[in-house]
Structure 1
Amino acid sequence: MADPQAEEIEELDPAELPPMRVREASFRCDDNSVVYVSFYTNDSQVGVAMEQDAIQTILPNEAMAAPGEEGEEPAEEANGTPRYSGEGYTLIGNSDASSIQFARPGGGLQTCDS
């Protein structure tokens, strides 16, 4: 039996799967606080929480989230390290790094080590 919606389905754009977690890590920062971070595929976003098992705040990769002005590349760290930010949080670091830079709302960037 033929599918009555076959033509409509053929015309649809392929679905994009949501990003998957590739690494979960905890980092102790210079002020002795701990941040729990989930890194996602393609450096698309990170999830951060200040307590273990808390609901994470998702921070998009700035280079992927906000396109620059016409013909201009989005800003990126000088060394090509992804920068994530949102809701007052900022995280700079690669998913395989043993150290990141992190700022919570109202605070400045500080170094955090795993």
Structure 2
Amino acid sequence: MTSKHLILAAATAVSLTLSACGESEPEVVGGTPDPMARELANAAPVELPPSITASRTYRCRDNSLAYVEFFNNNTANFRLEQGAEPTRLTAESAGGPYTADGITVSGSGSSVTIARPGAASQSCNSN
């Protein structure tokens, strides 16, 4: 008899618990809704930063090294020392020379020509 009473008590407890689910308002799971949802929905689209298409180390004719990162938006970062602050170079059109601050990098493949102030223009090949 006691097992019947236990089963009846458990069924009653479950039915009382489930009766609270019949409320008219939905349950909010995870806390309050996002307070910035409206602002985010009306925000301007996000523009992704340019991606690197190639990152190359070049050995130049005078045995110096040049580090160039080429991006998909006709720009390149130029460094003479690894880890140094880069100079941002820009090309007027795709395939054109990258220039800024008197520095010019012509080409973007395994062989480029680099011209910079105080040094002769020279060809450089990637390692």
TM-score by length of structure 1 reads 0.66
Residue 91 of structure 2 is aligned to residue 61 of structure 1 = yes
Correspondences of 1:1-114 after superposition (within 5 Å): 13-40=44-71, 42-63=72-93, 81-94=95-108, 97-114=109-126
Between Structure 1 and Structure 2, how many residues are aligned?
Answer: 95
Cα distance in 1 for partners of 2:50, 2:82 equals 21
What is the root-mean-square deviation in Å for CA atoms of aligned residues?
Answer: 2.3
Identity of paired residues, percent? Answer: 40
Which of the two has greater helix per residue?
2
TM-score by length of structure 2 reads 0.60
What are the ranges of 5 or more consecutive residues in structure 2 without an aligned counterpart?
1-33
Q: SS at 1:82's partner residue?
A: coil
What are the ranges of 5 or more consecutive residues in structure 1 without an aligned counterpart?
64-79
* Higher RCO (CA 8 Å, separation ≥ 6 residues): 1
Larger Cα Rg: Structure 1 or Structure 2?
2
